[in-house]
Chains A and B, each alone.
Chain A
Amino acid sequence: MSHSIGVDVGGTFTDVVLRGPDGGISVAKCLSTHDDPADGIVTGITTALGHRDPSLVTRIVHATTLATNAVLERRGVRVAYVTTRGFRSAIPLGRYARVEEDRYDLRFDPPAPPVAAGDCFEVPERVNDRGEVLEPLDEAAVARVGEEIARRGVTTAAVCLLHSYANPAHERRVAEILRRVVPTVVISSEVWPELREYERATTTIMSAYVGPVMAGYLRRLTARLAGIGITAPVHVMDSAGGVMSAELAARRAVATIESGPAAGVLAAAASGHPDVISFDMGGTTAKTCVIRNGEPEITHEFHVGGKGSFGGRRAGTGVPVKTPAIDLAEVGAGGGSIAWVDPAGTLRAGPRSAGSEPGPACYGLGGDEPTVTDANLVLGYLDAASFAAGTMSLSLDLAEKAVDRRLAGPLGVSRAEAAHAVHEIANASMGSAVHVVTVQRGIDPRGFVMVAFGGAGPMHAARVASRFGISTVVVPAHCGVGSAAGLLAGDLSTDRVLSAPGADPVRVFAILAEAAAADLNVTLGSPGVSVTRSADVRFTGQAHDLTVRWSDSPAELADRFFARYRQVYGIEQRGPIEVVSYRVRVTQSARHSPVGTAPGAREPGGPPKRPRAHGAADASDAAEVRRAAYFPELGGYIQVPVLTRATLGERAGPAIVEDAEATIVVPPGWTARLADDMAVILTEGGAA
Chain B
Amino acid sequence: MTAETLTAEVLRNALVVAAEEASIVVVRSAYSTFIVEGSDASAAILDASGRLVAQSMATTLMNSMALKVALPELLKDIPAPGMRPGDVFVLNDAYRGGVHTNDLLVYRPVFVAGEPAYFTATMIHVSDLGGLSAGGMAPLATDIFLEGLQLPPVLLATAHGVEPAIEAILRANSRTPDKVMGDVRALVAGTAVAAARIEALVGEYGPAGLARGIDDYLDHTETLTRAALLALPAGRYEASYPIDDDGIDLTASHTVRVAVTLAPGSGAVLDFDGTDPQVPAAINSSSSQSLAAAVFAMRCFLDPSIAMNDGCLRAIEVRLPPGSLLNARPPYPCGGRFVPIYAAMEAVFQALSDAMPERAIAASGILQPFSIAAVGAPYWIHLSYDFGGVGARQGKDGPDATGVHFGIGRNSVPQVEPVETRCPLVVESVEIVPDSGGPGRYRGGLGSRTVIRFLADAHVTTRGDRLRNAPPGRSGGLPGRLGGFHLRRADGSLERLDSKVNNVRFGAGEAFVIETTGGGGIGSPGDRPVEEVLADLDTGRVTPHGALADYGVTLHPDGRATRVAG
**Given A93-B432, A103-B407, CB of A425 within 8 Å of CB of B9:** yes
Q: How far is the CB of A203 from chain B (nearest CB, A)?
A: 14
A-B contact list, 19 entries, CB within 8 Å: A87-B431, A88-B540, A89-B431, A92-B400, A97-B58, A97-B411, A102-B304, A103-B407, A104-B296, A195-B421, A343-B224, A344-B227, A345-B223, A347-B7, A412-B1, A542-B36, A565-B29, A569-B189, A573-B185
Q: Which residues from B are CB-within-8-Å of A105?
A: 300, 304, 407
Is there a chain A Cβ closer than 8 Å to B402's Cβ? yes
Is there a chain A Cβ closer than 8 Å to B17's Cβ? yes
Q: Which residues from A are CB-within-8-Å of B36?
A: 541-543
Is there a chain A Cβ closer than 8 Å to B417's Cβ? yes
Nearest residue, chain B, Cβ from A94: B410
Is A106 touching B404 in the complex (CB atoms < 8 A)? yes
A578 to B193, CA, bound (A): 27
Is there a chain B Cβ closer than 8 Å to A568's Cβ? yes
A309 to B21, CA, bound (A): 12
Is B407 touching A104 in the complex (CB atoms < 8 A)? yes
Q: Which residues from A are CB-within-8-Å of B159?
A: none
Q: Which residues from B are CB-within-8-Å of A429?
A: 13
Nearest residue, chain A, Cβ from B397: A109
Selected contact of B35 from candidates A88, A94, A543, A568, CB within 8 Å: A543
Q: Which residues from A are CB-within-8-Å of B1?
A: 411-413, 417
Q: Which A residues form the contact surface with B (CB < 8 A)? A: 85-90, 92-110, 116-118, 126, 128-129, 134, 162-163, 195-198, 309-310, 312, 314-316, 342-349, 411-413, 417-418, 420-421, 424-425, 428-429, 432, 435, 440, 501, 539, 541-544, 565, 568-571, 573, 632
Q: How far is the CB of B512 from chain A (nearest CB, A)?
A: 14
Q: How many A-B residue pairs have CB under 8 A?
A: 211
**Given A104-B296, A196-B418, A571-B186, CB of A421 within 8 Å of CB of B7:** yes
Selected contact of A95 from candidates B58, B304, B413, CB within 8 Å: B413
Selected contact of A93 from candidates B10, B400, B416, B421, CB within 8 Å: B400
Is A106 touching B359 in the complex (CB atoms < 8 A)? yes
Q: Which of B317-325, B422-430, B468-476, B487-495 contacts A (4 or more CB under 8 A)?
A: B422-430
Is B410 touching A129 in the complex (CB atoms < 8 A)? no
Is there a chain A Cβ closer than 8 Å to B8's Cβ? yes
Is there a chain A Cβ closer than 8 Å to B215's Cβ? no
Is there a chain A Cβ closer than 8 Å to B263's Cβ? no
Is B57 touching A100 in the complex (CB atoms < 8 A)? yes
A110 to B27, CA, bound (A): 24
Is A134 touching B426 in the complex (CB atoms < 8 A)? yes
Nearest residue, chain A, Cβ from B228: A343
Is there a chain A Cβ closer than 8 Å to B539's Cβ? yes
Q: Interface code B291-335, partner A: CB below 8 Å = 1, 0 otherwise?
A: 000001001111011000000000000000000000000000000
Q: Which residues from B are CB-within-8-Å of A116?
A: 539
**Given A86-B429, A543-B418, CB of A315 within 8 Å of CB of B411:** yes
A565 to B189, CA, bound (A): 13
Q: Which residues from A are CB-within-8-Å of B416?
A: 87, 162, 197
Is there a chain A Cβ closer than 8 Å to B459's Cβ? no
Q: Which B residues form the contact surface with A (CB < 8 A)? A: 1, 3, 6-10, 13-14, 16-17, 20-21, 24-25, 27-31, 35-38, 57-58, 179, 182, 185-186, 189, 192-193, 220-221, 223-224, 227, 296, 299-302, 304-305, 349, 359, 361, 393, 396, 399-402, 404, 406-411, 413, 415-418, 420-421, 426-432, 448, 451, 538-541
**Given A98-B407, A309-B57, A425-B9, CB of A110 within 8 Å of CB of B179:** no
Is B417 touching A163 in the complex (CB atoms < 8 A)? yes
Q: How far is the CB of A102 from chain B (nearest CB, A)?
A: 7
4 additional A-B pairs beyond A88-B540, A95-B413, A310-B16, beta carbons within 8 Å, are: A100-B305, A411-B1, A501-B421, A542-B31
**Given A96-B410, A106-B359, A196-B415, CB of A346 within 8 Å of CB of B24:** no
Q: How far is the CB of A169 from chain B (nearest CB, A)?
A: 17
Q: How far is the CB of B521 from chain A (nearest CB, A)?
A: 16
Q: Which residues from B are CB-within-8-Å of A89?
A: 430-432, 448, 540
Q: Which residues from A are CB-within-8-Å of B182?
A: 539, 542
Selected contact of B10 from candidates A417, A425, A570, A573, CB within 8 Å: A425
Is B24 touching A101 in the complex (CB atoms < 8 A)? no
Of B14, B58, B404, the most chain A CB neighbours within 10 A belong to B58
Q: Which residues from B are CB-within-8-Å of A417?
A: 1, 3, 6
Q: Which residues from A are CB-within-8-Å of B300?
A: 104-106
Q: How far is the CB of A415 from chain B (nearest CB, A)?
A: 13
Is A93 touching B25 in the complex (CB atoms < 8 A)? no
**Given A163-B417, A428-B7, A570-B192, CB of A440 within 8 Å of CB of B400:** no
Nearest residue, chain B, Cβ from A316: B411
Q: Shortest 3 CB-CB distances between A and B: which pairs? A: A86-B429, A103-B407, A316-B411
Is B6 touching A98 in the complex (CB atoms < 8 A)? no
Is B430 touching A87 in the complex (CB atoms < 8 A)? yes
A501 to B38, CA, bound (A): 20
Selected contact of B224 from candidates A195, A342, A544, CB within 8 Å: A342
Is B6 touching A418 in the complex (CB atoms < 8 A)? yes
Is A421 touching B6 in the complex (CB atoms < 8 A)? yes
Is A162 touching B417 in the complex (CB atoms < 8 A)? yes
Selected contact of B28 from candidates A342, A435, A544, CB within 8 Å: A544
Selected contact of B58 from candidates A99, A109, A196, CB within 8 Å: A99
A342 to B6, CA, bound (A): 12
Q: Which residues from A are CB-within-8-Å of B413?
A: 95
**Given A413-B1, A432-B17, CB of A129 within 8 Å of CB of B421:** yes
Is A428 touching B10 in the complex (CB atoms < 8 A)? yes
Q: Which residues from A are CB-within-8-Å of B38?
A: 543
Nearest residue, chain A, Cβ from B17: A310
Q: How far is the CB of B337 from chain A (nearest CB, A)?
A: 19
Q: Which residues from A are CB-within-8-Å of B417?
A: 129, 162-163, 195-197
Q: How far is the CB of A612 from chain B (nearest CB, A)?
A: 41
